[in-house]
Chain A
Amino acid sequence: QQQVKQSPQSLIVQKGGISIINCAYENTAFDYFPWYQQFPGKGPALLIAIRPDVSEKKEGRFTISFNKSAKQFSLHIMDSQPGDSATYFCAARVDNTDKLIFGTGTRLQVFP
């Protein structure tokens, strides 16, 4: 049972463009929503995260938009660069636990 649904599965963007990855969740008992970036052969690394009492968080070229009523959150990568080419995972943490539920991942390719 996939509680966090992520789309698209793959994304191709031209250098300088905007990459948008969407996630939707079903369980309301989540208290933390991180995004992870993973390069081939490496472990995931935290990119940016948000709590449900905030609607938007921006760190450099990366922005999370969070819509609590719609149970959706998205990652926007502005001015996408070839170095951003990686797989991105959204996740949600079950309230008061250490359980992270991950989306299925989006493979982003940025072409020069």
Chain B
Amino acid sequence: NAGVTQTPEFQVLKTGQSMTLQCAQDMNHEYMSWYRQDPGMGLRLIHYSVGAGITDQGEVPNGYNVSRSTTEDFPLRLLSAAPSQTSVYFCASRSNLNTEAFFGQGTRLTVV
């Protein structure tokens, strides 16, 4: 049981490049979320999904797109990376029967 798996673990992008951060969970969880973690800021919600085909914005959605075509996967897309998007990104999932959210190991992204 792998839980929540994020890839890649580390990534360096140039300003203006695009990329997709992958998140997959094998627990059949309905809810999935993306957070970014910055020093002194805690974790801030970017986008979340309550099920396949349903997504909504969190606190800091600008510059990011998401889609949820399957229950297992919830990719996060950066269309045109900016230095302000340098951060550690965490994906989380939970069952609608349980309040506990399970987090992945994170993707450490640097935009130069």
Contact = CB atoms under 8 A, between A and B. Distances in A.
Interface string B24-62: 000000010101000011111100101000000011000
A43 B100 contact: no
Contacts of B92: 43
Nearest to A105: B42
A111 interface: no
A44 interface: yes
7 contacts: A6-B42, A43-B103, A44-B43, A46-B100, A46-B101, A93-B99, A105-B40
Interface residues of B, number: 25
A9 B94 CA distance: 28
Interface string B54-72: 0000110000000000000
A1 to B, nearest CB: 9
Given A43-B90, A46-B101, A102 B42 contact: yes
B106 A43 contact: yes
A98 B48 contact: yes
Interface majority SS on B: helix, strand, loop or mixed?
strand
Contact of B103 (A44, A98, A104): A44
A23 B50 CA distance: 27
A34 B99 contact: yes
Contacts of A46: 100-102
Given A98-B50, A98-B94, A43 B44 contact: no
A98 B30 CA distance: 11
Given A91-B43, A100-B45, 20 more contacts: A4-B42, A34-B99, A34-B101, A42-B105, A42-B106, A43-B90, A46-B100, A46-B102, A49-B99, A49-B100, A89-B43, A93-B99, A98-B48, A98-B94, A100-B43, A100-B101, A102-B42, A104-B41, A104-B42, A105-B42
